[in-house]
Amino acid sequence: MPDTRPRRTFAVISHPDAGKSTLTEALALHARVITEAGAVHGKGDRRATVSDWMAMEKARGISITSAALQFVYRDHVINLVDTPGHSDFSEDTYRVLSAVDSAVMLVDAGKGLEPQTLKLFKVCALRGIPVMTVINKWDRPGLSALELMDLIQEKIKLRPTPLTWPVGEAGDFRGVLDRRTGEFVKYTRTAGGATRAPERRMAADEVDEIDAALWADAVEEHELLGLDEADHDQDRFLAGETTPVMFASALQNFGVAQLLDLLLDIAPDPSPTEGVDGSVRKVEDDFSAFVFKVQSGMNNAHRDRLAYARVVSGAFERGMVVTHASTGRPFATKFAQSVFGRDTQSVETAEPGDIIGFVNAQSLRVGDTVYVGDPIEYPPVPSFAPEHFVTASAGDIGRYKQFRRGIEQLDQEGVVQVLRSDLRGDQNPVLAAVGPMQFEVVEDRMTNEFNSPIRFSRLDYQVARRTDAAGAAALAGVRGVEVLQRSDGTYLALFVDQWRAMVTARDNPDLMLEALPAGGS
Ligand code: G4P
């Protein structure tokens, strides 16, 4: 029987160490996990990651591959799509955001808005994804609640609309005032946060003597917030003008149930999606999905290839024959997985909002659409501004054929962006990445999967701007800039730094020099 309960599909965006893994585990604890995946990376004695497809991942103890965790909460099915990436991240981290309907921005109360959070936020803003904010680690000293509200307003230009307000500042946390019901949600510290939600709700007149003074302060601030247009407004939230805020301690399990309730109450449902020709697919129409990530090399024994797709419309049933939009060819879905990781479990049915993995999907690439019924093709998943560049060459010239094939394959999968120019010739492509770890993945797979050792030589560029053929001609020979063409045909002008990019744009006002999405440039 297909599970047709309503869906919530979201991702957590955060900087490393803000508590994403802790929160993910806490969410799963509150819910009934349907399928368990590598969304959680192992740390200490906590549950180890499932996605250790690559030896490299194991060695580093981090999750490079995308994964999704699916669970039931109240009457909903929730899909938490992992945003991979630890101390550095990759284009995949951004791409995952094309598969979600909302995002939770997790902020460390002591650190405020950190660089990776801001980069990921930019991608959400670009795609119009509504963002809810969770201020985490409220159980220990940090910035004041008002300081954090100012930071949000200043750095991401969204109006913070707190749904809860802390009673007691970070480090002296007594609980929160639920601004929608006026109740006190009292927090009781537990050892190691091992037990379920230490939360107790009570009416304002039941607040204990010991919390009374701090409660009065919170009530006063809550009233001031109300005067300052800081109350939740669903339309403004969905329009990307505001971000509802909650205060939590993922480690102590406080605020986790509140977050789940919030997701059900205010996060958007999967919505109708427009194709490149302007036609719109409603969620109840025939099945359609788009691929947002392709993963190979999970198993050295056979060349497997898994394409992760987000269901946009219709019900999916395993065995369905779908049409691959870019080739018009049929694609059999005999092998479809719901669990991403070591345990390959077949998915029998899926609904809009769910993530499915197609096994042995040799023909599917990032951005591809598959559908049943009337043709539909969704817009391509954008590529993001690379900030790291190397030239690549075959480590063993006798294996040049393997080198070429490998680079082509990794390019198609979107593992790195591959740039070329007549000047550099075909043998030394430039590889461009959002995070340097993408080069390590290339090196690992070239060596182990394509049997072609690879040599990199770092290039001093830091900034890429989109240009055109005229720009390429005009900038040829200009110092501090080089124009190359990406395999999708886009011309990219690479600059040694922001300053050089700025000066070039100023001195050549007629040239096309556009910033690319995210990546800070
Ligand atoms: P990440 O996935 O975002 O990188 O963060 P992770 O959950 O691994 O958390 C990073 C550190 O912050 C961990 O400590 C974790 O225990 C701690 N932490 C997460 N949430 C909270 C919270 O609400 N309150 C407090 N006080 N700490 C929190 P660690 O010492 O690096 O790791 P571990 O040895 O405790 O696992």
The answer to whether 81 and 107 have CB atoms below 8 angstroms apart is no
Q: At 450, which CATH number?
A: 3.30.70.3280
Q: Which atom of ligand 1 is nearest to the CA of 136?
A: 23
Ligand 1 pocket member 20 (CB < 6 A):
yes
Q: Which tokens sit at 97?
A: 């955001």
The answer as to whether 162 is a domain residue is: yes
Separation CA 291–CA 242 (nearest Å): 30
Last residue of a domain, one of 371, 396, 429: 371
In a domain, 429, yes or no: yes
CA-to-CA distance for 204 and 183, rounded, in angstroms? Answer: 6
- Return the residue matching tokens 């049915």: 349
Ligand 1 in reach of 357 Cβ (< 6 A): no
One domain for residues 216 and 198: yes
- Structural domain tally of the chain? 3
Give me ligand 1 centre to Cα 251, in Å.
7
- At 468, list the tokens: 């055109």
What is residue 509's predicted lDDT score, i.e. its pLDDT?
93
Ligand 1 pocket: which of 29, 69, 251 to mutate (most atoms within 8 A of CB): 251
The amino acid that residue 174 corresponds to is R
Q: Do 128 and 105 share a structural domain?
A: yes
Which atom of ligand 1 is found nearest the CA of 41? 2
Whether 250 lines ligand 1, by a CB cut-off of 6 Å, is: yes
Q: Which residue is it, tokens 């060349």? A: 303
Alpha helices in 168-314 (DSSP H): 212-227, 234-238, 256-266
Instruction: Convert the pLDDT of each residue in 178-218 to its tens digit.
Output: 999 999 999 887 655 455 546 889 999 999 888 999 999 99
More confident residue, 164 or 64: 164
- What is the residue with the minimal CA distance to atom 22 of ligand 1? 137
Q: Is 18 in the pocket of ligand 1 (CB under 6 A)?
A: yes
Pocket test residue of 24, 25, 43 for ligand 1, highest count of atoms within 8 A of CB: 43
Sign of CA dihedral 330, 334, 335, 337: positive
Distance 53 CA to ligand 1 centre (A): 24
**Residues 82-100: tens digit of each pLDDT:** 887 654 567 888 888 999 9
Residues 400 and 489 in one domain: yes
Choose the final residue of a domain: 269, 293, 326: 269
257 shares its domain with 113:
yes
The CA distance from 162 to 250, in Å, is: 18
ipTM of the complex as predicted = 0.97
In the three-class reduction of DSSP (H, G, I as helix; E, B as strand; rest coil), residue 336 is classed as strand
**Assigned domain for 378 exists:** no
Q: What is the pLDDT of residue 85?
A: 60
Instruction: Out of 114-123, 282-291, 306-315, give the one with best mean pLDDT.
Output: 282-291
- Supply the CATH number for residue 28's domain: 3.40.50.300
Which has the higher per-residue pLDDT, 62 or 377?
A: 377
Same domain, 299 and 423: no
Do residue 431 and residue 504 come from a single domain? yes
Q: 231-290 pLDDT, tens per residue? A: 999 999 999 999 999 999 998 889 998 999 999 999 999 999 999 999 999 999 999 999
How far is ligand 1, taken at its centre, from the CA of residue 28, in Å?
16
Whether residues 254 and 283 fall in one domain: no
Structural domain contains residue 229:
yes
Same domain, 193 and 229: yes
CATH of the domain at 278: 2.40.30.10
Residue 333 lies in a domain: yes
Give per-residue burial for 377-395: e unless 16+ CB within 10 Å, then b.
Answer: bbebbbbbbbbbbbbbebe
Establish whether residue 140 lines the binding site of ligand 1, counting it when its CB lies within 6 angstroms of any ligand atom: yes
- Do 109 and 211 share a domain, yes or no? yes
In whole angstroms, give the CA distance from residue 308 to residue 289. 10
Domain shared by 413 and 503, yes or no:
yes
* pLDDT mean over 400-420: 92
- Which of 15, 20, 21, 22 gets mutated to test ligand 1 (max ligand atoms within 8 A of its CB)? 22
Q: Which atom of ligand 1 is nearest to the CA of 46?
A: 36
Strands lying side by side in the sheet with 321-324: 329-332, 321-324, 369-371, 288-296, 305-313, 355-359, 336-337
Structural domain boundaries enclosing 364: 274-371
Q: Tell me, yes or no, whether 209 and 347 share the same domain.
A: no
Residue 520 belongs to some domain of the structure = no
Domain end marker among 252, 269, 286:
269
* Residue 173, token pair as written in the block: 């946390």
Euclidean distance between CA atoms 248 and 109, whole angstroms: 9
Same domain? For 257 and 305 the reply is no
Is residue 25 within 8 A of residue 99, CB to CB? The reply is no
Atom of ligand 1 nearest to the CA of 15: 3
Residue 51 lies in a domain: no
Sign of the torsion angle spanned by Cα atoms 42, 48, 54, 58: positive
Most confident of 125-139, 181-195, 377-391: 125-139
41 located within any domain:
no
